[in-house]
Structures are given as structure tokens and as C-alpha cells.
């Protein structure tokens, strides 16, 4: 029994573990934090817990809060240094606020600050999984944010939408609820009077991507619809549902779930946990472009052989994660390579029978074995 409607997100039997992401624009108003609104949301989280659901919060707001305290321009997003300083100041206040309001509902808050690398590296990812699992078992509510003060530009998530989806993968959650400042995904620019809310999405096709317009409208967060669709793709890989709902209203979760107002991305598949982690990786060491024959073979479940590789980009080592792309640059899969980039380049386009002579040692059966390939 899977999640097929927004109301399912309130059912502990169908949705035993929920990740709720709260954006900066919801938490912070013109006069500082929106305490009353947040207290209402926390009451809803407590209600979810009372229904028997595990709840993980992914909370933005550190940068915006810190920038206000330090008097930094552009909401602290003028430069990376500003954002890092702002986050360091704001995170204390943010965590304190969550701890205080959750405690008022009799709940214990647990702070987890993660970087992109914490979830890209398999060992650290499993560590995060174990910590989240233990906290939930012990009855706490993990409150997660990106560790913005140490993450440099290259190694940042940059938005909490994708962070929430990765956390959901790590915690094996059933669904992610993204609280936004819009009702959900519209079929065109929401400013257009003809725009309609899309209630259910099954598969994030190019047509769905075309509906998303640009970055954050509030200017406080960094998300926008594009990063929400990326989050939906990451969740989908792991068989996790994702919903975008309007968080600006009172009791936003009940409003959206009871009234069926929002967009639900119904997952189409359930890749094994390890392949979901691989497919959801955001940083890759290189890319292999393959011909049409190889693309077809991959879709049929085969390993990637050298004969079908057209180009090798990037510098990588055996065991690194790379993208596998078709000729027009579409990413078909993520995989862990069996050879360094130099050897891949040497073997590219060559039949298996030639490999031993080229390498000078017994070759491996494939460039990427099918067990190490996550099709996207
Ligand atoms: N991690 C950032 C913060 O706490 C927010 C990222 C986002 O806007 O999604 O301020």
C-alpha cells in the first residue's frame, strides 16, 4: 500500500516517517521570527507524532536570521563569507527556537548540521542514517539544516529542498513535505491568470520541468520550484513521495492534507537503498558519454562496456561515482567506475577482447558493472 493522495501523508500505517521542510520565508517575517506561526506548526508536528508518525524537520532560516542580527545586506546572501557568518549566528537562534517550541509540546529537539559531503560519502551517509534512526527511536525530533558556516560553494547543497530529499533517503522516510510560500506546482507561471495547480505528478518529465520557473520568489531562501523538482527526483529514486504545500496558512499541514490542496509527487519505483543513494548523488567526479546501443543496453539492465563509450570527461579513480550520459547530454545513470579515467579513455570504443593487451593485466568484465549502476 503506497501513498497516492495527500491525505495519505497523515496516515501512520501508509506514512510512518515524514520529513517536513520549512523554508526561510515562512520562519522569518519583517519583524523577526514568526513565533506564533511556528508554534502552530509545531502543534501539528506533535499531532503527527501522536498519530504514530516519526517526524524529521529540515529547517532553513539560519542565514536570514543571522543576517538580521548582524545587519548584513541582501539577507546575508551577498557573498559566501556573509552567508557563512550569518548562518553561524542564526543557527543558534534557530535551534533554540525549535527546541523551545517543541519542548512546549513535550517533545525533545535534536540538532543535526550536515554538509553535502556527509551524504555523498557512503560511510558518512550510513552514519547519518544510524544517528537519525537512533534519535527517532529515542523519541526525539531531529531538526536538520545544512552546515552553512563550513560548506564552501563547491560543496554546498545551497538549498534545503534537496537536503530534505537526501535526508529522507538516509532516514528511509515515506514522504517529504515541502512547506512553501505557494500552493504547489502550477502548470505555468502562477502570475498567469490561466495557471492551474497540478494536484498529482507521476514521473518528473521534461514537460513537468518546463512548468517550474526560476529561483526563490521571496528572496529569503534559495529554493524555488527548480530545486523542489530536483528534490522530487531524488525522493522518487528511493520510492519516497514528496508534496509541495502552502506553509503560509495557519495549520498548514492539516489544511493541505485534509483539503487536498498542494502537489503530490507519487513515486514510481523503489530502487534498493544503495542505488537510491548513488542515483541521488549531487556531485560526480566525471562523465562517460555513450552511444545509442550502449544506452539501450543500460536501459535493459546490462553493465556498461567500453565498446559503447564515446568520450570520457573528468579525472576520476576506480570506485568513484560518475555520470553516464547520452549524446545530447541527458544523464542516463550514475555508476561507480571500475577503472581510473586514464584507463577508461584508453579502453573507450574498444572490444573486450582487446583490453588485456591494452592494459597489461587481466581486465574487469565492465567499465561499470550493472550492480554499481543506478538508472535515472
Ligand atoms: N541552509 C540555509 C539557511 O538555513 C537555507 C537554504 C535554503 O534557502 O533552502 O539559511
Bridging pattern class, strands 286-290 and 309-313 = antiparallel
- Domain hosting residue 297, numbered range: 284-375
What is the 369 CA–ligand 1 centroid distance (Å)?
A: 37
Let me know if 174 is exposed, middle or buried by CB neighbors in 10 A (0-12, 13-18, 19+). buried
Let me know if 189 is exposed, middle or buried by CB neighbors in 10 A (0-12, 13-18, 19+). exposed
Q: Which atom of ligand 1 is nearest to the CA of 222?
A: 8
Taking the complete model, does pTM exceed 0.75, yes or no? yes
> Which residues pair with residue 312 across a beta bridge?
288
pLDDT for 175-199, tens place per residue? 999 999 889 999 988 888 898 999 9
Q: Is residue 253 part of a domain?
A: yes
pLDDT for 325-362, tens place per residue? 999 999 999 999 999 999 999 999 999 889 999 988 88
Residue of the CA atom closest to atom 6 of ligand 1: 159
- Examine the fold and report which residue of 242, 276, 310 is the final residue of a domain before the chain moves on: 276
> Which residues of the chain fall below pLDDT 70?
1, 153-155, 213-223
> Taking the alpha carbons of 147, 153, 155, 157 in that order, is the dihedral positive or negative?
positive
Do 289 and 240 share a structural domain? no
Do 126 and 182 share a structural domain? yes
Ligand 1 pocket residues where CB is under 6 Å? 24, 60-64, 87, 145-146, 148, 159-160, 221-223
Q: Which atom of ligand 1 is nearest to the CA of 223?
A: 9
Do 69 and 17 share a structural domain? yes
Q: Which atom of ligand 1 is nearest to the CA of 145?
A: 1
Q: Which atom of ligand 1 is nearest to the CA of 157?
A: 6
Q: Is residue 189 part of a domain?
A: yes
Q: Is residue 332 part of a domain?
A: yes
Q: Please tell me the distance from the alpha carbon of residue 207 to that of residue 213, in angstroms, as a whole number.
A: 12
* Closest by CA position to 161, among listed 212, 107, 217, 224: 224
What is the 220 CA–ligand 1 centroid distance (Å)?
A: 8
Instruction: Give me the number of domains the chain comprises.
Output: 2
Q: Which atom of ligand 1 is nearest to the CA of 91?
A: 4
Do 331 and 310 share a structural domain? yes
What is the 180 CA–ligand 1 centroid distance (Å)?
A: 13
CATH number for 323: 2.30.130.10
Residue 155, pLDDT score:
65
Q: Please tell me the distance from the alpha carbon of residue 286 to that of residue 316, in angstroms, as a whole number.
A: 6
What is the 160 CA–ligand 1 centroid distance (Å)?
A: 6
57 phi, psi to nearest 5 deg: -100, 135
Let me know if 170 is exposed, middle or buried by CB neighbors in 10 A (0-12, 13-18, 19+). buried
Q: Is residue 1 part of a domain?
A: no
* DSSP notation for 302-348: PPBPGGGEEEEES---TT-EEEEE-TT--EEEEEE-SS-HHHHHHHT
Amino acid at each position: 500500500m503506497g501513498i497516492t493522495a495527500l491525505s495519505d501523508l497523515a496516515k501512520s500505517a501508509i506514512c510512518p516517517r515524514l520529513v517536513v521542510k520549512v523554508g526561510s520565508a515562512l520562519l522569518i517575517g519583517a519583524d523577526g521570527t514568526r513565533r506564533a506561526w511556528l508554534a502552530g506548526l509545531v502543534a501539528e508536528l506533535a499531532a503527527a507524532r501522536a498519530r504514530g508518525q516519526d517526524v524529521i524537520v529540515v529547517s532553513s532560516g539560519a542565514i536570514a536570521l543571522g543576517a538580521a542580527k548582524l545587519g548584513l545586506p541582501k539577507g546575508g546572501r551577498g557573498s559566501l563569507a556573509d552567508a557563512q557568518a550569518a548562518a553561524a549566528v542564526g543557527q543558534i537562534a534557530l535551534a533554540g527556537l525549535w527546541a523551545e517550541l517543541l519542548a512546549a509540546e513535550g517533545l525533545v529537539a535534536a540538532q543535526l548540521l550536515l554538509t553535502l559531503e556527509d551524504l555523498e560519502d557512503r560511510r558518512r551517509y550510513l552514519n547519518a542514517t544510524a544517528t537519525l534512526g537512533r534519535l527517532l527511536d529515542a523519541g526525539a525530533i531531529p531538526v536538520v539544516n545544512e552546515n552553512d558556516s563550513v560548506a564552501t560553494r563547491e560543496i554546498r547543497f545551497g538549498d534545503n529542498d534537496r537536503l530534505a530529499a537526501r535526508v529522507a533517503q538516509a532516514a528511509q522516510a515515506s514522504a517529504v513535505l515541502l512547506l512553501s510560500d505557494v500552493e504547489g506546482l502550477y502548470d505555468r507561471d502562477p502570475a498567469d491568470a490561466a495557471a492551474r495547480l497540478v494536484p498529482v505528478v507521476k514521473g518528473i518529465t521534461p514537460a513537468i520541468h518546463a512548468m517550474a520557473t526560476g529561483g526563490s520568489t521571496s528572496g529569503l531562501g534559495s529554493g524555488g520550484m527548480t530545486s523542489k523538482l530536483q528534490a522530487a527526483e531524488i525522493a522518487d529514486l528511493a520510492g519516497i513521495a514528496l508534496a509541495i504545500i502552502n506553509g503560509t496558512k495557519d495549520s498548514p499541514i492539516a489544511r493541505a492534507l485534509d483539503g487536498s490542496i498542494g502537489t503530490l509527487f507519487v513515486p514510481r519505483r523503489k530502487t534498493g537503498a544503495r542505488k537510491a543513494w548513488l542515483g541521488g548523488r549531487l556531485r560526480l567526479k566525471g562523465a562517460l558519454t555513450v552511444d545509442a546501443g550502449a544506452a539501450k543496453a543500460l536501459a535493459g539492465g546490462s553493465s556498461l562496456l567500453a565498446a559503447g563509450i564515446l568520450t570520457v570527461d573528468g579525472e576520476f579513480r576506480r570506485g568513484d561515482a560518475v555520470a553516464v550520459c547520452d549524446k545530447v547530454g541527458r544523464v542516463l545513470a550514475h555508476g561507480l567506475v571500475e577503472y581510473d579515467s586514464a584507463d577508461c579513455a584508453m579502453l573507450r570504443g574498444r572490444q573486450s577482447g582487446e583490453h588485456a593487451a591494452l592494459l597489461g593485466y587481466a581486465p574487469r568484465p565492465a567499465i561499470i558493472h550493472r550492480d554499481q549502476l543506478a538508472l535515472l
